[in-house]
Amino acid sequence: MRKVIIDTDPGQDDAVAILLALASPEDVDVIGITTVAGNVPLDLTARNALQVCELAKRKDIPVFAGCDRPLMRTLITAEHVHGKTGLAGADLPDPSMSLQDTHGVDFLIQVLTDNPTGTVTLCTLGPLTNIATAFNQAPEIINRVQEIILMGGAYFEVGNITPTAEFNIFVDPEAANIVFRSGVPIVAMPLDVTHKVLVTPNHQQDISVIGSDVSQAVLGWTKFYERFDRDKYSSAGAPLHDPCVTAYLIRPEIFSGRFVNVEIETQSSLTLGMTVADWWRVTDREPNVQFMGNVDSDKFFALLIDRLGRL
């Protein structure tokens, strides 16, 4: 079983990713959640993480607020996708849990220092600001990370926030650059994969049959933000970007991709935040990322619906 820290900016799809992990204690040991500014500002992402833990009846999960802005840039948020709070589509009660006093970055450093090398995995669902800040502050933790499994980037799908950049990487490209160059083993779930896991009306029906508070929330969330992808891409439903990360922890074999070099564009105003993936291996740059390209969507939804039913 993997010991993981989930670093996140909830976001409806982040919320589903967290629920999937918390529903799977036999596969995933969530030792803490760190929040970051991204989809909405930090006060809201932190609050949303607390609400999601309570929805899963896991008040025991420690939640830490991390960085409230990118390393060098002004924060860009995505209320146009996720609504004003980030979790529009389901009304959750005010959280009764409190945030931990420790800063999220300090928690990351402490856990990686205290645990044996190679035993803690970082699952990142938002901009990489917290992880890069921890690596900058305590470089000795870098080679102690077992693996980073992240949602971010795109190659064949190119951009969703600009013509060439995916949101999580675009918000903090300098942070992404630090992480992608860190030497830590990385598995990336780009839009190429996440646009293949769409919540269709049939899936909504399967989710609604669960008949719980959790399933109601997931339905409300996905119905809320599907309009964005339907309008933009004529998609069949809401893409479950971030749940690809937590599904990978449980069923890695349903994903496939290539181990290639991926560099982050940090200079060009035109292509800022692009994940320049050497998919066709046309350079001699060293591979650094397992960059996923495909997923068995039926198996993904079978897993998700089974696990949500357990909460």
Task: List active site positions.
Answer: 241
Query: Is residue 11 at the binding interface for Ca ion, with CB under 5 A as the rule?
Result: yes
Q: What angle do CA 137, 121, 309 make, to 5 degrees?
A: 135
Residues 6+ apart with CB under 8 A from 253: none
- Give the C-alpha distances (Å, rounded to integers) separating 233 from 162, 188, 236, 237, 249: 14, 22, 9, 10, 28
Single-letter code of the amino acid located at 286: E
| Site size for ligand BDR (CB under 6 A) | 15
State the minimum distance, in angstroms, from the CB of residue 239 to ligand BDR: 8
The correct pick among 58, 195, 241, 307 for binding ligand BDR (CB under 6 A) is 241
Query: Is residue 14 at the binding interface for Ca ion, with CB under 5 A as the rule?
Result: yes
Query: Is residue 311 at the binding interface for ligand BDR, with CB under 6 A as the rule?
Result: no
Burial 152-180 (b: 16+ CB within 10 A, else e): bbbbebbbbbbebbbbbbbbbbbbbbbbb
State the minimum distance, in angstroms, from the CB of residue 41 to ligand BDR: 14
Of residues 13 through 52, those in contact with ligand BDR by CB under 6 A are 13-14, 39
Cβ(99)–Cβ(61) below 8 Å: no
The correct pick among 40, 53, 65, 125 for binding ligand BDR (CB under 6 A) is 125
CB atoms within 10 A of CB 40: 24
The correct pick among 121, 129, 130, 160 for binding ligand BDR (CB under 6 A) is 160
Tokens of 257: 């991709």
The residue among 125 and 207 lying less far from ligand BDR, judged by its C-beta, is: 125
Query: Is residue 7 at the binding interface for ligand BDR, with CB under 6 A as the rule?
Result: no
Residues 6+ apart with CB under 8 A from 252: none
The residue among 12 and 141 lying less far from ligand BDR, judged by its C-beta, is: 12
State the minimum distance, in angstroms, from the CB of residue 75 to ligand BDR: 13
Of residues 246 through 285, those in contact with Ca ion by CB under 5 A are none
Beta strands in 158-209 (DSSP E): 186-189, 198-199
The residue among 14 and 147 lying less far from Ca ion, judged by its C-beta, is: 14
CA Rg value for the chain:
18
Interacting residue ranges for Ca ion, rule: CB under 5 A:
9, 11, 14, 125-126, 242
- Site residues (CB under 6 A) for ligand BDR? 11, 13-14, 39, 78, 81, 125-126, 151, 160, 166-168, 241-242
